[in-house]
Structure 1
Amino acid sequence: MKDNIYIIGAATTPFRKWPEKSVKMLATEVVSDALRDAGLEADRIEAAWFSNTRQPMLEGQNTIRGQIALGAAGLPSVPIFNIENACASGSSAVFNAANHIRAGQADITMAVGVEKMYFTDRREKMFAAFMGGTDIEIVDETAERMSAIGRDIIPESADNSAERSFFMDVYAAMARQHMKTFGTTQEHLAAAAAKAHFHSTLNPKSQYRQDMSVEEVLADKQIVWPFTRAMCAPISDGGAAVILARGSALTDDQKKRAVEIKGVGIASAQKREMTDYAQHAGRRAATIAYAQAGVDPADIDVVELHDASAFAEIQQIENLQLCPMGEGGAFTASGATKLGGSVVVNPCGGLMSKGHPVGATGIAQLEELVLQLRGEAGARQVEGARLGVAENGGGFLHVEEGVTVVTVLSR
């Protein structure tokens, strides 16, 4: 245990639309809760990483976001580093906080992600902010290219007029290609969403807590074919934090609840054919993480993955090698990823139901895995969970996420 790195404290705020709460308020709440969970005072933190993507665009606050937010939260004098890496910002912050310890620069560090995405008076800016997650010089070309994918299978009755982020069009295009290549169906997508909505009923911090059947998901408002509203992550506000420590710095009480970071794989987008699924960034990152951790996908008990859309879940369970390529839809519909199944995916409700405050998401995924591996997840506890994996991807470049981070945790 001496030389390994552990998560010894973890917390999230409830994910909601919080018009009355500021980034400072959310940061203060989650930092305090994570310190309490670790049994530490703030002066034990030697360095911190702050994950946020929206403050510059929506509030005009940039360059020293972390120093401002974490200073207000009681960490004014430690080295603070600002991390922005699309939807993978949170897991990237944890990666850097762990490496700081690994490099011998500290014994205890902290990663905090906070995002405010919802502003009642800035709706146009809220949606425009998503466009920065791709190459802005070719954004129109990218949108046109993606909208053409699988256009021939879109029903004539489809209504694609709903307000939505650019990324729902991207995910929809990838879903249609998967449908054409492997026979994935809209019902498969609905099964992933229905499972997420059921899991969210067991998580009091989820933004949505309404159980939905496959039929109810399919009957929901159409966003862009093949997605209905229930298949898409909402706009969310919230915060998450984890505290990391070198094994030799742990107290006896902390050792009892510590969760080890076994491996981390990171891959960036590359130019390839969309149908060359074996080279997807998520699959490449997972392969790296598994090799570092010395684990086999068959041994995984619980997974938190980036289901910003229902298709993203199907795609990523294939990339994580939980099932054969092309069989993610059928695997999900079989119930294998639901509580009680062979490998439980997103027991917290995932992005589709728990919510998706971008800078906090990756850290919140790890917080859920920490609870699961400690046996502290309550009604959504995965029985006997010992090995957990988080996949957190963001942005869009070429034909895939701009960056994907896969993290393996164990007890």
Structure 2
Amino acid sequence: MSEALATLAGVGTSAFGKQSYDAQTLMWQAISEALIAAECAAADIDAIFVGNVFNHAGTAQRGLLAAGFAGQPVFNVENTCASGTLAVHLAVQAVHRGDYRRVLAVGYEKMTDTIRGPLPTDPRDADAAAGLILPAVYAMTARRYMSLYGVTAEQLATVSVKNHLNALQNDRAQYSGDFTVAEILDSRPIADPLTLLQCSPISDGAGAVVVTAEDVGAAGAKVLSSALASARPWPTGPDQVWNYELIERTTNESLAQASISRSDIDVIELHDAFTIGELVTLEAMGFFKPGTAGPATEAGETAVGGRLPVNVSGGLLSRGHPLGATGLAQIAEIAWQVQGQAGARQLDRADIGLIETMGGNVAGLTGNGCVVMTLAGGKQ
């Protein structure tokens, strides 16, 4: 295991779902929890990195002002679904380089006021012009995988069953429930073979993390690695769907950076915007051979108590997917797990956890960008 790049001294999130609060209030909720956990104040923060996709210009600065910040450098970043994870990645790199000693990373999104239906895309994008918005792209991925490997509709639905069940233990999750496979498959069709309960919802929410160069011991989570990769031209191979290569490459870089193997990972929070996304991502990251993640999920290998628990928080499918906040929510969950602070969701073994967030899509690319990060408990 390599030496830590930095330490997450404190994490925090808002609740997720359709919120009556504005974006500034959601940010304040997450930031306050992170600062309290890190035992520091706004004046102790040297710089701030903010991830967001859809809100108005200046929303980040208004939210930070409301939370008591003034004068610190503020860096606004956008990387579609991986915007929040990119904010943390940049914060970690800034601390590791010695640019700053203590940095705040924030991700937020207020989507329910403005987004109706699928996420808007640039009409000049060739895929968007052809109607290939993300539900359609993931549906085509699902059909390709079902054809190549014999993955069944029931195995896809099992991902949703698992993640909604996990979310019953997460009081900040947008949705939860003890569904059957039949109930998942019988929910409203969205893009064949994907049904409503196999698609992540439109959400509001925020997350925050204090990144420091200080060793805070068991009170923090160590960042073993943080890798960012950007897209290459697609297609990359005859049997690779559009984001496979990007996720594979980023994961390999992150694990090599941390000097750990896949067998060292105890828990994963990954980008499950659609059920097929969880299966493809697990295979692209190398935790399962192509075509085997579906049967493994059906057999309970990725459930709580299984060989490799995945999306214990409920994931994007159930916790919610406020784009700018999603990566922070994933990081917060893994930080709580490796510190033994996940409450009713706490796993028996969670020494090292992995976070993966993939952003896309742009026609002709394997995605926009991907961040894969590994965390360990402060006692490691």
Give the TM-score normalised by structure 1. Answer: 0.86
Aligned to 2:281: 316
The offset of 1:244, in angstroms, is 0.5
Paired residue type of 1:244: V
- Taking the aligned partners of 1:200 and 1:329, their CA distance within structure 2 comes to 20
Q: Which runs of 5+ in 2 are unaligned?
A: none
C-alpha distance after superposition, 1:160-188 (max 9, x if no partner) = xxxxxx21111111111111111111111
Q: How does 1:303-382 map to 2 (within 5 A)?
A: 303-382=268-347
- Taking the aligned partners of 2:107 and 2:188, their CA distance within structure 1 comes to 31
- Taking the aligned partners of 1:50 and 1:184, their CA distance within structure 2 comes to 39
Q: 1:187 aligns with which of 130, 139, 154?
A: 154
- Taking the aligned partners of 1:129 and 1:322, their CA distance within structure 2 comes to 30
Paired residue type of 1:83: V
Aligned to 1:284: 249
Matched position secondary structure for 1:280 = helix
Q: How does 1:254-293 map to 2 (within 5 A)?
A: 254-273=216-235, 275-277=238-240, 280-293=245-258
Matched position secondary structure for 1:28 = helix
Identity of aligned residues (%): 34
- Taking the aligned partners of 1:129 and 1:323, their CA distance within structure 2 comes to 30
C-alpha distance after superposition, 1:23-82 (max 9, x if no partner) = 111111111111011111111111011111111xxxxx21x3322221111112211110
The number of residue pairs the alignment matches comes to 372
Paired residue type of 1:277: Q
- Taking the aligned partners of 1:3 and 1:286, their CA distance within structure 2 comes to 17
- Taking the aligned partners of 1:139 and 1:272, their CA distance within structure 2 comes to 12
- Taking the aligned partners of 2:139 and 2:231, their CA distance within structure 1 comes to 18
- Taking the aligned partners of 2:40 and 2:170, their CA distance within structure 1 comes to 26
Question: Are 1:136 and 2:124 an aligned pair?
Answer: yes
| Stretch of structure 1 that moved more, 334-343 or 276-285 | 276-285
The offset of 1:343, in angstroms, is 0.5
C-alpha distance after superposition, 1:170-229 (max 9, x if no partner) = 111111111111111111100111000100101111001212121211121111111111
1:66–1:81 CA contact under 8 A, matched in 2: no
Matched position secondary structure for 2:79 = coil
Aligned to 1:410: 376
Q: Which runs of 5+ in 1 are unaligned?
A: 56-60, 147-165
Give the TM-score normalised by structure 2. Answer: 0.93
2:4–2:224 CA contact under 8 A, matched in 1: no
1:221–1:228 CA contact under 8 A, matched in 2: yes
| Stretch of structure 1 that moved more, 97-106 or 355-364 | 97-106
2:14–2:27 CA contact under 8 A, matched in 1: no
Give 1 or 2: higher helix fraction: 1
Label 1:215 to 1:137 Cα distance change in 2 as closer, same or farther (>3 A). closer
Question: Are 1:393 and 2:358 an aligned pair?
Answer: yes
The offset of 1:129, in angstroms, is 4.8
C-alpha distance after superposition, 1:312-341 (max 9, x if no partner) = 000111112111122111111110000000
Q: Which has the larger radius of gyration?
A: 1
Matched position secondary structure for 2:147 = helix
Question: Are 1:13 and 2:14 an aligned pair?
Answer: yes
Label 1:222 to 1:355 Cα distance change in 2 as closer, same or farther (>3 A). same
Matched position secondary structure for 1:21 = coil
Paired residue type of 1:393: M
The offset of 1:286, in angstroms, is 0.3
